[in-house]
Amino acid sequence: MSVSEITDDFRDRARSADILSGSQKLMILVLSMTLYGVGDIVANIVPEIQAGPFEIGVSYFSFIAVVLAALLAPAWVALGAPLGELVFSDMLLGDFGGFSEIEGFLETALAIYIAGCLVRNPRSLRQLFWAPIVMVLVDKLTGGAIDITKVLIGIDPESLEESGGLVSAFLVAEGIDIVITVVTSGILFGALPAMWLAPRLYGKLEPIMGLRPRDPQRPPRMRGPWKTSIWAVAALAFVAAAAVELTAAWEEFAGREGISVLGAFEPDYVERFGAVYLWIAAAIALVIGLGVFFALRAVRSRSQ
């Protein structure tokens, strides 16, 4: 065994005290689902501004995911947050696209995990500034690459028509959309609130779940399951997301309903009951999510 391997083994053993129990993983998952899902509903309430051909709005509140991932276990926050968007936002609002939603789940989960691992010290304002921006860039660049592929291979003619039939105009529109999202969701509703919130919650949120605050000297490693390379995991996630989205686009282009709409649930409650339903859905999600979270916490306390 080489010196570096011995060192890695020693570090892994030192970290064994930080291994999460099943109940702690569930609490992080449920808390992330609840807060990010409710945040996604509230983001739908924020009005959009029309600026020429572009709509300036809030895609999501990235600070919620980044703050949780910076304080807790990034991997479980990365799984819980996009799951909350699907369960507590899309389904409650009646706009769940079915199997094709996997694309957004994979892109968002990868983005949150990378952003959470970038924050080595939750009190570092510099790291908290860049983490939400990186989250938005990873999410939007992977999604943008798939959108461009759809247009180039000709299975998304509507997007090309909206750009006047020119690929160059479509690419410019995609680039401007990414810049707008970085400014709104990455800085205004990402970096700035994260820089204010994370240092104030550091050392206060973790004990609620029986966790120790993150040690800046031992930050989470950016690696995949079973110590695989994060870049291999990222490449696999991108290929899977692209396969799902390209299949969905091809089925829509061919005018057939296939695997992409499997499990789709789209009664659109907002259109049926009005904008007030958004607040009702947010309240329902908050009550259900926090109820489950505190029930898990009570069970864990009794078992100790």
State how far the Cα of 90 lies from the Cα of 97, in Å rounded to an integer: 8
pLDDT tens for 181-238 read: 999 999 999 999 999 999 999 999 999 888 899 999 888 888 877 778 888 889 999 9
Comparing 145 with 275, which gets the higher pLDDT?
145
Share of the chain above pLDDT 90, in %: 49
The CA distance from 136 to 111, in Å, is 7
In angstroms, the CA 83 to CA 237 distance is 16
Q: Tens of pLDDT along 258-302?
A: 788 888 888 888 888 888 898 999 999 999 989 988 888 888 777
Is the pLDDT at 1 greater than 70? The verdict is: no
Tokens matching residue 83: 């799951």
- 112: tokens are 């949150």
pLDDT per position as a tens digit, 98-108: 888 999 999 99
pLDDT (tens digit, 9 = 90+) per residue, 24-71? 999 999 999 999 999 999 998 888 887 777 778 889 999 999 999 999
CA dist., res. 265 & res. 260, Å (int): 12
How far apart, in whole angstroms, are the C-alpha atoms of residue 197 and residue 214? 15
